[in-house]
Amino acid sequence: MSEADTKLYTPTPEQAQGAYVAGMEAYQALVAEAEADYEGYWGRLAKELISWKQPFTQVLDSSNAPFFKWFADGKLNASYNCLDRNVEGGKGDKTAIIFEADGGEVTKVTYSELLDRTCRLANALKAQGVQKGDRVVIYIAMSIDGVVAMQACARIGATHSVVFGGFSAQSLRDRIEDTGAKLIITADHQVRGGKQLPLKGIVDEALALGGCDSVAKVLVVKRSGAGIAMTEGRDVWMDDALAGQDNVCEPEWVEAEHPLFLLYTSGSTGKPKGVQHSTGGYLLHAALTTKWTFDLKDSDVFWCTADIGWVTGHTYITYGPLALGGTEIVFEGVPTYPDAGRFWKMIQDHKVSIFYTAPTAIRSLIKAAESNEAVHPKSYDLSSLRILGSVGEPINPAAWEWYHQHVGGGRCPIVDTFWQTETGGHMITPLPGATPLVPGSCTLPFPGIQAAVVDETGKEVPWGQGGILVVKKPWPSMIRTIWGDPERFKKSYYPEDFKGQLYLAGDGAIRDEKTGYFTITGRIDDVLNVSGHRMGTMEIESALVSCTELVAEAAVVGRPDETTGEAICAFVVLKRPRPTGDEAKAIAKQLRDHIAKEIGPIAKPKDIRFGDNLPKTRSGKIMRRLLRSVAKNEAVTQDTSTLENPAILDQLGQAY
């Protein structure tokens, strides 16, 4: 980034005034505090932001690194922190959640009501035999019920594992089996863009696939109840399970390290990993980042558009904003239904002041707004907005500028928050009242987070030089392990290359020569980011080759896409002659449907190209870097001398 094209947006006095972290001096003071006394810093914040039943005496325990423990002898309850203490603090009648369903119906709950509902479900779960330490899988629509389900698990010390409603029966089954869940919470269906999609039916399918013997009960939230088959002895309507349950449930006081949740995410190899998060350290960072990155105040209306099936929904819907006693929006639906003005209309209707969404959504709404004034942000009153956020993938400067100008009216700072499922909360992000913004850069580490850019040996590279993004010190909300696979945890995140001393994020990054600002340059492993959804190329390849009647071999790579950030591009060798024309189209559709069944519709490749073979080295290794060029329709400029079959590149290049 040269100085000439670097545009700097420095917080105005109005933006800085009254912010929790006001000005760069305040930011630097926090950074310095953490540097001078790392444990003292986190210990102070843990006492300030979290209510402990039993105070901790030790902040960080590194005796079994990299299995770090935080606040280990402290006891707390996440649901107490999110609900009871707000009610006790006089916020009982404050609106906790404003829920808007796909069809536009609005439901509101206060903190007292949310506590009531959570306690009743917590008691119902106990009555169904769920105890502290048991796992509960949640496969549900975006709803107040979804948040209540998570909070109820937390209340009784059950570990929840939410599975995104877009995953297939097969993926759901794999996750249920891996967690060994005792109970599943689901709903009859969900609605997206006016379309009704089954949930309970997919749970039935998943359980019928086998391997889920741990599951004793399935609780089903009824929306319409139409056409739902209930398995006697296993399935229970939520209303029946809740009937007669007391609205008081003493929280289970758990150790700070008690697993609050497992959330599955894709890695570069093998099956998805169950990322295990703690209760104390996680909740601290959820609350702290909501406070400082979003500057969430009592008077704000906060809207994070993510689904609770992803980590963003966990941290910035279920836990962070509630831990601070905020008012938030929960939304079921898609940004383009009933039209592409949905987000802007909801911001206007509910007077949203803090809005947090993904670049892919912004890019698709830009497209729509440019061709239809009625869905352009200028056709709505967005004057309630004061802070905007971006998450999930790099935001390109053009989308950033549009977001800033047309959604934020030029007056709202944009916090471009870099983090991951594994990090639990924000890692590198501007703070809205402090950090001068540069479009396309996530700027500087959150106070207390020690991010760096290193080379293959773990040595820090000079600013201005690209490298590997790492975190030098453990932090409270970090992943604790991969459920059931501690070795994989070590290998994935604390690799030997860095002597087990550095947390490997899996992203490349570069720091600005002058400011030290971070820009994320994308994954350095075989993980793709499609519309902010994380996907392993190996997973998609396995799904393709599992279509054994058709597929001989497959290789999957990503290519840049204007709207979705990256697009999935699959190169496929069939067990029959290479198809062309309509036949190729028909087989491509068949393969896409197969992938939707194996993983979920989100994993469907945008491009499928058929070849007689794949580019391979003489030892038979598929050369994916060449395929990346072909996928981009770029001339292959790399060295192809080690290639066994160079002519195949022409064929794959033309096969589109």
What is the distance between the alpha carbons of residues 434 and 429, in angstroms, rounded to a whole number?
A: 11
Residue (180 or 397) nearer to ligand WT7, CB: 397
Of these, 269, 420, 515, 563, which contacts ligand WT7 (CB under 6 A)? 420
435 part of the interface to ligand WT7, by CB under 6 A: no
**Total number of residues binding ligand WT7 (CB under 6 A)?**
22
What is the distance between the alpha carbons of residues 75 and 254, in angstroms, rounded to a whole number?
A: 5
Of these, 273, 480, 523, 609, which contacts ligand WT7 (CB under 6 A)? 523
**41 — phi, psi (to 5°)?**
-60, -55
Q: CB 16: neighbour CB atoms within 10 A?
A: 19
203, 509 contact by CB (below 8 A): no
**Smallest distance from the beta carbon of 164 to ligand WT7, in angstroms?**
10
**Smallest distance from the beta carbon of 208 to ligand WT7, in angstroms?**
29
Residue (124 or 311) nearer to ligand WT7, CB: 311
**Smallest distance from the beta carbon of 356 to ligand WT7, in angstroms?**
11
Residue (21 or 395) nearer to ligand WT7, CB: 395
290 part of the interface to ligand WT7, by CB under 6 A: no
CA torsion sign, 545 to 167 to 318 to 55?
A: negative
Residue (157 or 389) nearer to ligand WT7, CB: 389
Fill in the per-residue mask, 484 to 513: x = in contact with ligand WT7 (CB under 6 A), - = not in contact.
---------------------xxx------
Which among 167-175, 219-227, 368-376, 413-421 is the span making contact with ligand WT7, rule CB under 6 A?
413-421
Of these, 15, 159, 265, 629, which contacts ligand WT7 (CB under 6 A)? 265
Distance of CA 568 to the CA centre of its chain: 19
CA torsion sign, 201 to 203 to 209 to 210?
A: negative
With b for 16 or more beta-carbon neighbours within 10 A and e for fewer, the 443-475 pattern comes to bbbbbbbbbbbbeeebeebeeeeebbbbbbbbb
526 part of the interface to ligand WT7, by CB under 6 A: no
Q: CB 542: neighbour CB atoms within 10 A?
A: 16
**186 — phi, psi (to 5°)?**
-140, -175
Distance of CA 454 to the CA centre of its chain: 25
527-556 binders of ligand WT7 (CB under 6 A):
529, 534
273 part of the interface to ligand WT7, by CB under 6 A: no
549, 536 contact by CB (below 8 A): no
418 part of the interface to ligand WT7, by CB under 6 A: yes
Residue (444 or 551) nearer to ligand WT7, CB: 444
312 part of the interface to ligand WT7, by CB under 6 A: yes
Which among 404-412, 416-424, 584-592, 626-634 is the span making contact with ligand WT7, rule CB under 6 A?
416-424
**Smallest distance from the beta carbon of 500 to ligand WT7, in angstroms?**
20
Q: Where do we find the tokens 């758990």? A: 254
Of these, 121, 262, 442, 608, which contacts ligand WT7 (CB under 6 A)? 442
Which among 154-162, 196-204, 390-398, 549-557 is the span making contact with ligand WT7, rule CB under 6 A?
390-398
What is the distance between the alpha carbons of residues 567 and 363, in angstroms, rounded to a whole number?
A: 14
Sequence-distant (6+) residues with CB within 8 A of 459 are none
CA-to-CA dists, residue 422 to 236, 323, 534, angstroms: 34, 20, 12
Residue (70 or 264) nearer to ligand WT7, CB: 264
421 part of the interface to ligand WT7, by CB under 6 A: yes
Binding site for ligand WT7 (CB under 6 A): 265, 310-312, 391-394, 416-421, 442, 505-507, 520, 523, 529, 534
